[in-house]
Amino acid sequence: MNTQQPSTMDNHQRYSRQELFAPLGRDGQQQLQQSTVLIIGAGALGSSSAETLVRAGVGRVIIADRDYVEWSNLQRQQLFTEQDAADRVPKAIAARDRLRQINSTVQIEAHIADVTANEIEEWVDGVDLIMDATDNFETRLLINDVSQKHRIPWIYGGCVGSYGITFTIVPGVTPCLQCLMESAPLGGDTCDTSGIIPPAVQMVVAHQTTEALKLLSGHKEQLRGTLLSFDLWRNEHVSIKMNGARRSSCPSCGEHPTYPHLSHEGQSKSEVLCGRDTVQIRPPHRQTLDLQQTARRLKAQTEHEVTVNPFLLSMTLHEGRRMVVFQDGRVMVHGTKDIAEARTVYHRYFG
The CATH topology of domain 268-349 is TATA-Binding Protein (3.30.310)
What confidence score (pLDDT) does residue 66 get? 77
Closest CA to 211 of 180, 169, 240: 169
Kindly tell me if the per-residue pLDDT of 58 is higher than 90: yes
The percentage of the chain sitting over the pLDDT mark of 90, rounded to a whole number, equals: 59
Strand partners, 228: 166, 239
Kindly tell me if the per-residue pLDDT of 41 is higher than 90: yes
Ordered alpha helix ranges (H), the chain: 8-14, 16-19, 25-33, 44-56, 82-87, 91-102, 117-123, 137-150, 177-183, 191-194, 198-216, 291-301, 339-349
Residue 227: C-alpha distances to residues 19, 30, 38, 129, 304 (Å):
29, 29, 21, 18, 35
Maximum mean pLDDT: which of 6-15, 67-76, 139-148, 185-194: 139-148
What are the extents of the domains in the chain? Answer: 8-262, 268-349
Is 159 catalytic? The answer is: no
Write out the DSSP string of 164-178.
EEEEEE-TTTS--HH
Single out the catalytic residue among 159, 176, 191, 253: 191
Kindly tell me if the per-residue pLDDT of 56 is higher than 90: yes
Architecture of 8-262 per CATH? Answer: 3-Layer(aba) Sandwich (3.40)
Residue 240: C-alpha distances to residues 84, 161, 174, 184 (Å):
40, 21, 13, 10
Q: Average pLDDT for residues 82-98, to the nearest whole number?
A: 91
List, edge to edge, every strand of the sheet that includes 322-326: 269-272, 278-282, 331-334, 322-326, 312-316, 306-308
- Mean pLDDT, rounded, of the chain: 89
